[in-house]
Each structure stands twice: as C-alpha cells, then as structure tokens.
Copies of this chain bind each other. A is one copy, B any other.
Amino acid sequence: MSPRRSYDQYCSAARALDLVGDRWTLLIVRELLAGPRRYTDLHADLPGVSTDVLASRLKDMERDGLTSRRRLPPPGAVYVYELTSRGRQLLPVLQALGEWGQSELGERRPTDAVRAHWFALPLLRALEGEEGLVEVRLEEGDFHLRVGAEEGPVYGDGPAPREANARLQLDAETCAAVAGGELRLLDAVRAGRVTVTGEGTLAKALREA
C-alpha cells in the first residue's frame, strides 16, 4: 500500500487524480461497476495486472473510501470487493473516458483482450433515458444492464439475475457500432442485426420499429 503520492495542487481534477490516477485503478472501477467481484475474477478480467499490484490497489481504494471488502455468508464464505456509493459516482468519469476513447478503438488488435461486459459502459450511454433490466447476449459472453438504476451496480457480468425487461442478441461488431454511436439501436434492430425478446416496454418498443 503506497503512502499516497499526491500532486499537491489545490485543484479538484488533480485531487481526483490523486485517488484514481494510478495505473489500473480506473479499470478496477470499471470491473466493480458490474457489482461485487472476487479477487480471482478481478485478476482474470484485468489481463496484465500483477497480483501484488491488484492487491495493493484494492487496499488503497478501500482506504480511500472507493471500495469495501465483504465476506459472503456461508456456504461460499469468500471475500468480495464492491464499490461504495462514492466509488459508483465515478461512472461519469469512465463514460467520458470511454466516449473519448471510442474513436481510438478501431479494429481489434491481435494482442487485445476482450470481455463481453466491457461493452456495457458504452451501451449504457446508448440506452440513456430508458429504464429497466436489459440482458445482452454476445458470442463472447452475456451481461446485463440496469438502465437508469439509482443505486447498486449499474451492470453485471453473466445473464440477468431475474427475468429481464428486454433481451438483446447481437454480434460484437454491431454492439461496438451501437456503443460508438455510429449506429442507433433502433436502426440496428430494423436492419435485423439485433434479435429482441422479452415483454418489457423497451422490448416492445424496439420490436415495433
């Protein structure tokens, strides 16, 4: 655990970077926006991070009030890490970064790792104004979005824990285009590139189009 290296500037952006400017920190936040995760799962979805750095960051973040560590009730009884309310407020930061980085994304490089839920953040932007639980199925895996959620995780890895208001099945290319704003979700549905199921308002509205 580092003794907190600071920029020592009386500036709110610099203060923010004191807390989340270290390598890997914001990507750990991205992972935890999907809800509580175990150490091993975090390590698996952050390829390249070394075990000691991950452990150190998690301690720093807990000390700084961004995350908390909790022991699940038996059976299981493993530790999970989750964002505090303060940590969840970093969502706009990650969205601004993601929006800016969208144009750098381009084609997938052979060295690039991919996880399905990495599309959740930009997709959440594309669904702004909507509401409900949306399940997304890609070849690379499934995840779900809690669109318009006021508290708790804003998205999650794997299928939705309860019946989703809408289920979308699409390929990664379509997903990237929608996430990047090049293609509106409605147009993607019209073009037959998205299969919509479910009985929620959003699902019906999308099918009507």
Question: What is the interface of chain A, defined by CB distance below 8 A to chain B?
Answer: 6-21, 23, 26-27, 30, 47-48, 89-90, 92-102, 104-105, 108-109, 111-115, 118, 121-122, 179-180
Contacts and interface: CB of A to CB of B under 8 A. Distances in A.
**Number of copies of this protein chain within its complex:** 2
Contact of A93 (B23, B27, B47, B100): B100
A174 to B, nearest CB: 15
A11 B108 CA distance: 9
Contact of A101 (B15, B98, B114): B15
Contact of A122 (B12, B98, B113): B12
B10 A113 contact: yes
Given A89-B100, A93-B96, A100-B93, A108 B7 contact: no
Given A12-B122, A17-B26, A92 B101 contact: no
Nearest to A101: B16
Nearest to A16: B101
Contacts of A100: 12, 16, 89-90, 92-93
B113 A8 contact: yes
B96 A92 contact: yes
Contact of A14 (B16, B27, B93, B96): B27
A163 to B, nearest CB: 29
Contact of A13 (B14, B101, B111): B101
Interface centre among A14, A98, A112, by most chain B C-beta atoms within 10 angstroms, is A14
A60 to B, nearest CB: 14
Given A7-B48, A23-B21, A12 B111 contact: no
A9 B26 CA distance: 13
A97 B14 CA distance: 8
Interface centre among A18, A90, A99, A101, by most chain B C-beta atoms within 10 angstroms, is A101
Contacts of A11: 30, 98, 101, 105, 114-115, 118
B8 A99 contact: no
The list of the 5 closest CB pairs from A to B, nearest first, reads A16-B101, A12-B101, A11-B118, A10-B112, A15-B101
